[in-house]
Structure 1
Amino acid sequence: MISALNRLVDLVEEHLDEEPDVQGLATACGTTQYHLRRMFSSLAGMPLSEYVRRRRMTVAAADVVRGDADLLSIAVRHGYGSGEAFGRAFRAVHGAGPSDVRRDGGPLRTQPRLRFRLTVEGSIPMDTRLINRPAFRLVGHAARVPLIHQGVNPHIQQHIASLPQEAHVRLKDLGDTEPAGLLQVSDDVDPEGIEGSELTYLHGVALGRDTPTPDDLDSIEVPDGTWAVFRTSGPHPQALQTTWAATATDWFPSNPWRLRRGPSIVAVLERADDFTTATCELWLPVEPA
């Protein structure tokens, strides 16, 4: 995977004036575009699309400052159909328009070319198990919420708080298969993990495929497949978010598995009354790499 990510960086450099063929590269590397984009955003700390934009504007800035071509020609050279579109992208990265930078020589914000390396220094063993699960169904109360990487998501908090206590009790009584207990389910997540992008959050439980689903509950059909299950314990949600990040930095690069499309699931096994600490299981859908 580290090699595939570095080949992706090379591909971006070779085609800064157009969209890189991520699907073609993923196929050549024996992986999927979905997994490649998810791993890139997790390890780089930004979506691939944002890295491409920053690198494109870094190179374009040199052309702007050099002043050997008009701004429209530079815009076209870097894949933009108009000076206005180029100007908006340029300002978003550098904080100033191309005309201002040409006049003043700055400000400029450079995005260095990325290079991925796998290190094992300071690694912490991860408590993981692999489970083959037949198809099942996730049922509960769903809402569309923005993706937030760090800290508590207030939109999810608000969604859960809006449910009456009897709804939680009802869900607990309904669940009849693994993952057990009340579940925090994230589905339809942007492959690049762009913060602020919308996802479907479901507060619910898992049912066997043959268990009837109440008509007044939302449901997500989950096909049969393999799941990597990571156990985490400590301050909540920090311990869970740290483990989630470590799946990209430590576990996937070191194991012959890759993410497949499907919901990610958090099962809360134990928690303090104020939810400041918790023991959880993070379920991620995987397939052989």
Structure 2
Amino acid sequence: MIAELNTLIDIIETSLSADPAEAIEISSLAARLGTTEYHLRRMFSSLAGMPLSEYVRGRRMTIASAEVIAGEDLLSVAVRYGYGSTEAFGRAFRSVHGIGPSEARRNGGPLHSQQSIRFRLTIEGNTTMDTRIIDRPAFSLIGHSARVPLIHEGVNPHIRDFLETIPVDEHHRLKSLSESEPAGPLQVTDGVDPDYREGTELTYLHGVAVLATASASADLDVIDVPAGTCAIFTASGAYPAMLQETWAATAAEWLPSNPWRLRPGPSIVSVLERAEDFSTATTELWLPVERE
């Protein structure tokens, strides 16, 4: 995966001054590299710490800023970098540099440079991830869901507030409906932005797993999960920091070192044990994967 990401970087570099819609077609590039657009975008955002689209815009505006400072015609620069007007180019320029092209030309800056990224895999060899791979028949996730923004670190207050609206008796009812792995209650995220951009919306479901043939009552939301392979990561420690570190390690360590790639589908967290105040927990993180 590291080699594929560096190939992507090389293609981006040669395409910065071309039409964005034509120059960098991630889906066709991913197919050429033997992977998927979903996996490529998720791995890039996890390892680079930014969405692929943000990196491309940052690199494009970094290169374009040199031509702006040099006094080239702004419309010519805008067209060269794939924008149909100086206004559209100016908005993209300001989103990266914090100032417009005219001010940058007049004062010489300040400008924010996005350096070209190179990916390298460093194997420390002193961390073992407790992982198992299983093939699962189709099943369903039932429970109560809400649309919430993605937050990478710390407690997500939107999820916390949503969970507080669910009565205690309803938590017990859901747990009694659990009839399939992973064991409930479950924290489910679905419909996550492929670039994993902070603040983008996802579906969060608090519920349990049931057989695909089960029928849910009308007051419950349902996410159908097709048959496929799942990688399951077990971890214990401070919560939610330990779980978030496990998420990061799957991208930074496990996926680059193993012949698996992410596939679309819900990510599921099963809490096996926890402290009374939820300060510590043992969890299973279920990720949908497929062979490279």
- The interval holding the TM-score normalised by the smaller chain is over 0.9
2:152 matches 1:152? no
2:249 matches 1:246? yes
Q: Which runs of 4 or more aligned residues in structure 1 lie more than 2 Å from their structure 2 counterparts after TM superposition?
A: none
Structure 1 counterpart of 2:173: 170
Deviations 1:12-58 (CA, angstroms, capped at 9, x unpaired):
11111333111111111111010000000000000000000000000
Residue ranges of structure 1 left out of the alignment (5+ in a row): none
Q: Find the partner of 1:27 among 22, 27, 31.
A: 31
Whole-angstrom distance in 2 between the partners of 1:122 and 1:197 = 35
2:68 matches 1:64? yes
Structure 1 counterpart of 2:55: 51
Structure 1 counterpart of 2:19: 18
What letter is aligned with 2:288?
A: P
Instruction: Give the SS at the match of 1:247.
Output: helix
Q: How many Å apart are 1:123 and its aligned residue?
A: 4.8
Contact 2:139 2:227 in 1 (8 A): yes
Whole-angstrom distance in 2 between the partners of 1:78 and 1:134 = 47
Instruction: Give the SS at the match of 2:105.
Output: helix
Instruction: Give the SS at the match of 2:115.
Output: coil
Q: Find the partner of 1:40 among 35, 39, 44.
A: 44
Whole-angstrom distance in 1 between the partners of 2:279 and 2:290 = 33
Contact 1:227 1:283 in 2 (8 A): yes
Q: Find the partner of 2:91 among 85, 88, 91.
A: 88
CA-based RMSD of the aligned residues comes to: 0.9
Contact 2:180 2:209 in 1 (8 A): yes
TM-score by length of 1: 0.98
Deviations 1:140-185 (CA, angstroms, capped at 9, x unpaired):
0010000000001000001111001111010000000100020000
| 1:1-289 mapped onto 2 (5 Å cutoff) | 1-16=1-16, 17-19=18-20, 20-67=24-71, 69-121=72-124, 123-289=126-292
What letter is aligned with 1:207?
A: V
What letter is aligned with 1:21?
A: E
TM-score by length of 2: 0.97
Q: How many Å apart are 1:212 and its aligned residue?
A: 2.2
Whole-angstrom distance in 2 between the partners of 1:248 and 1:214 = 37
Instruction: Give the SS at the match of 2:155.
Output: coil
Residue ranges of structure 2 left out of the alignment (5+ in a row): none
Deviations 1:198-228 (CA, angstroms, capped at 9, x unpaired):
0000000000112221121000000111100
Deviating more after overlay: 85-94 vs 11-20: 11-20
Contact 2:19 2:80 in 1 (8 A): no
Contact 1:123 1:250 in 2 (8 A): no
Whole-angstrom distance in 2 between the partners of 1:274 and 1:50 = 38
Whole-angstrom distance in 2 between the partners of 1:276 and 1:206 = 25
Deviations 1:200-257 (CA, angstroms, capped at 9, x unpaired):
0000000011222112100000011110000011111100000100101100000000
Instruction: Give the SS at the match of 1:124.
Output: coil
